[in-house]
Every structure is written in structure tokens, then in C-alpha cells.
Amino acid sequence: MISDYRQLKQTREALNRLEEDLISLNHEVYPVNPERFHLMAEAYVDHIIQLRSQIDEYIGIKTYQDKLQGVWLRLIGPSIQLGSASASLLTSTIENFRKSIRSITAILKGEMPYRKGGLSKDVETSCDLVIIGLTTGSLRIGLGLPPERQISLFDTYEEPVVKAIDTFMEVVSWASSPEISSALPASISDLPSRDYILRQVMNMAPTKKLPVDIIEFSGTLVHLPKAPLLTRAARSRLCDVIAKETGAEYMEAVGTIREIDLDYKKFYLRERPDNEPNLRCEVNEDMIEDAKAALGERVIVAGTVKRDESGRVNLLKVKTMEISADEGDAGA
């Protein structure tokens, strides 16, 4: 990190030396042995990218980008940077965020996005976010409103999709707060379809399956004094809030979904650990699409149970569902 002009000068000198060395490799080694060039150049390129990112941040390029009308998602992890992060990580992050904001926008407008035909064309188009930038260092993705939705910053709070972003960020800020004992804010707990909205944020949270530890949100459409951070721990916290009910017995189970009775919104959790019997499960209407997406997958489900007269569990009312990371099935 560069903190003053002297360090900026030193960083530029180091960058210049690395670039000169890379030029030499490109002209002397590559024509003779391209494979050796790529092996030798990798460390130079990684270091050059890091130094350029530090320079860009110090001279104000990051500050300028943050003022563009939009949301910046910074993916933080030990091996994440432009040039090494996979295309699937980039596309899945963008798509998960877009879908989360679209679903929350629809709910806040009184629509039912989990039903066929439950999304209006207006919500579809307003949430078709555009890419406004990609930057080096820890991968940063800039997403903005569609051109037809670009508005004055003074009017931005009235745009439904912006209200949805506000709601999303408030949930992120609470879920990742170090104050574990803090209650869910009234502004969140009183939301329509509260659990559905919380699941949209939970589905965006980092998992063990991906090399992302934290997602940082910033930009002009993030109306919070401090950039909210979505962590892996937030996923567990959101799961607890959604799945646990006062006075009801909580249960978490692992298994595979092979088929779903769409009429009754039920399925059996099969192939459970330690040869446990199949578990009958039921979901609400707003989780049917999640269950369909998990067909054939090993999942972790959580919710409240009903027991028969003998005390055996005969139904799990599923509140959350995650595709397992298969690492002991102890949370995705």
C-alpha cells in the first residue's frame, strides 16, 4: 500500500524495472522457447499487476471509479485477481447479484418472482444491470443501472431497483456485523416476504466451494457510511435467522433430492449419512425453484420438524437449502 509521494516514486521505479525485465524476456526468450517464457514471465506479470493496482489506488483512479453511478463488488480471496480468477467466478457473481436484486425489487413492488409469470417486464429491464468496469488487484466488478434507468443522484432513492439495493446492503451489513447478539433491525424484520429476501442475500454469500472469502460492496448506489462486507460467516447467521423459530424444534439434514412433488411441494431427502432413513420434506411456494435447481444434488437443508405419535420425525419444513460443498457436509 502506497501512503506518500516518496513511496509512489519507489513503486514506479520498481514497476519500471519489472517492465524492463519482462521486455527482455519477451524479446530474448520467447522467440527461442515460448514455454519457458511463460514460466519465467508469470511472477513478473503478477507483480506488475499488483504494483499497477497500488499506483491506481493512490493516484485516485479507484476514487473516480467509485463515483460512477453504480455498485462495485470487490472479491477478496488468496488467489483472486484479474488474470487468475476464472470466468465462471466472474459470471456467477454478476448473475447471482443481478438475480438477488431483481427478486428483492419484485417483492418490494408487491410481485411474486417465484411464480411463473410473477415478474413484470419493468422489473426485468430495470434490473438488467450493465458492467461499468473491471479493475485489477483483488477483482473489482462495477455494475450500474441500465442506460434508460440512469437518473439524477438526487432522485436515485426513488428508483425501485435502488431501494432493493438499499435493502440488500442493509441485510449484508447486519449479517456480517461482529455484534452477534444484535437483533434483526425492524426495517428488515418487518419486510414483506422477509425470509425470501434474506435468502437472496444468503445465496450471494461466499461458500467453501469458491475461492472467495469476502465480497465488499461500494459505490454511489451503496448508501451506507461504511462499505458492507459479505462474509462466509454471514451465511450461517442468515440461515439461523431464517430456519429457527421460537418454540419449534430445529433440524439440519443432509441428503440428495431425486424428485419433487410439485403439487404438494414435497420431496424425500435420500442417500443420507450413516444410512439414515429417507426424510420427508416440505417447502413453501417461494422455495420451489431452489428445490428444482438442486435436483440430483447433495444438499444441506434446515428448518423445523413435525413428529408423529411415536416421536419420530415425519416431516421437515425446510426454510433454507444449500448445495453441499462435500467437506463433511458441515455447511456450504
User: pTM, whole model, 2 decimals?
Assistant: 0.77
Q: Taking the C-alpha atoms of 52, 55, 56 and 58 in order, what is their torsion angle to the nearest 10 degrees? A: 160
CATH topology classification for 250-323: OB fold (Dihydrolipoamide Acetyltransferase, E2P) (2.40.50)
Q: Could you tell me the mean pLDDT of each successive run of 10 residues in the chain, 332 residues long?
A: 91 94 93 89 83 85 69 83 75 94 94 91 93 77 80 59 94 85 76 90 89 90 92 91 91 96 96 95 95 95 94 95 73 56
Residue-range domain boundaries for the chain: 5-59, 68-242, 250-323
Write down the pLDDT at residue 211.
Answer: 83
pLDDT of 187: 77
Q: Are 138 and 80 in contact (CB under 8 A)?
A: yes
Instruction: Report which of 187, 196, 138 is spatially closest to residue 167, judged by C-alpha positions.
Output: 187
